[in-house]
Amino acid sequence: MDVRPSEEHIAFQKSVRDFARSEIAPHVAQWDEAGRLPVEIVHAMGDLGLFGLPFPEEWGGSGADFLSMCLAIEEIGRVDQSVGITLSAGVGLGASPIHRFGNDEQRGRWLPDLLAGRALAAFGLTEPDAGSDARATTTRARAAGDRWVLNGAKAFITNSGTPITSLVTVTAKTAEDEISAFIVPAGTPGLSVQPPLRKLGWHASDTHDVALEDCHVGPDALLGAIGSGFKQFLSILDDGRIAISALAVGCAQACLDAALEYAKQRPAFGGPIGRFQAVAFALADLAVAVENARNLTYKAAWYKDTGQPFREAAAMAKLYSTESAVSATRTATQIFGGAGFMEESPVARLYRDAKILEIGEGTSEIQRLVIARGLGLPVG
């Protein structure tokens, strides 16, 4: 098994890295302080082909493998986690459900703009009282002639309120023990996007709660078969966990980059602090963690790309990478000392951004549950 990127992968990764450093890095602090998603950078990533990477050419994609998607997310996340999650969610949670479970009419209507970065789509699974326990959804869909009427609420929905959001895909109960998925176009009467949420991190990422009040959609809104919504969304989350793992690798690598540079330059007691074992060993451990996280992520992507079962591999990658990213921000901030606690420091933003990585796309506890079940343990 060889999960190393090919020469073509490496060339592509460099092109994304150059783009991130020239088009994103100079503006990150401003976007973070303003709490604004820069729609212009979404369009720019679309022009670069990033939103269409893992999709077939017939729908406007480039037909690339999932490892390429991970490389792109890693490099964008290395510069800014908010823009990284915008890309990750736009592809994995936004466009993927339409591509994987939609019919050709739905794909033809929505995918061209989504894959070109002209539009974004949101994924409405989480509710105020249904997070890890997604089966506890209380959103309902009842048939009314040939239409569906949706009522409920979704919480913490990424890319749901941007000027270019075109749709929200939501889960809803169509019977007591039956969950289905529906495409709700932006602007549909009864669909209301609540004010932007104030978050600990990811300040430049668009996040809102969404309400559905007698929201009428047509028969073409049903995504896949009735009753298949829960299974569909769990499958989407398996893909998303690899993507979040790649975002976490970018975060951890950014911490290593910043702390290493600081340790080489910051003087104390007659020389750079990097000469002290306490600092040097912390950076050595961080380098090992980054390498392990990257290898687990690439391995999970390789399993997916080669058509092998990857649920447990995705859970392992997500668990290790996200917890390593959170640890990396602590290490980097400690090395920076008091300067790391200042918002002007690059590691301060990373410290704020990292925590959600252990929560979104399934908490660390859920990942451990998936892994334990993969071991054959009857854990509930």
Amino acid at 101: F
The residues, any chain, with a CB within 8 Å of residue 18's CB and separated by 6 or more, are none
For the chain, how big is the Rg over CA atoms in Å? 21
Nearest CA among 2, 106, 115 for reference residue 63 = 115
Note if 213 is an active site residue.
Answer: no
φ and ψ at 29, to 5 degrees?
Answer: -60, -40
Report the DSSP pairing between strands 222-223 and 178-185. Answer: antiparallel
Strand partners of residue 154? 210
List the structure tokens of 36. Answer: 């604004």
φ and ψ at 122, to 5 degrees?
Answer: -115, 165
Q: Which of 74, 75, 323, 361 is catalytic?
A: 361
Alpha-carbon torsion (109, 112, 118, 120), positive or negative: positive
Burial 302-333 (b: 16+ CB within 10 A, else e): bbbbeeeebbbbbbbbbbbbbbbbbbbbebbb
What residues are annotated to the active site?
361
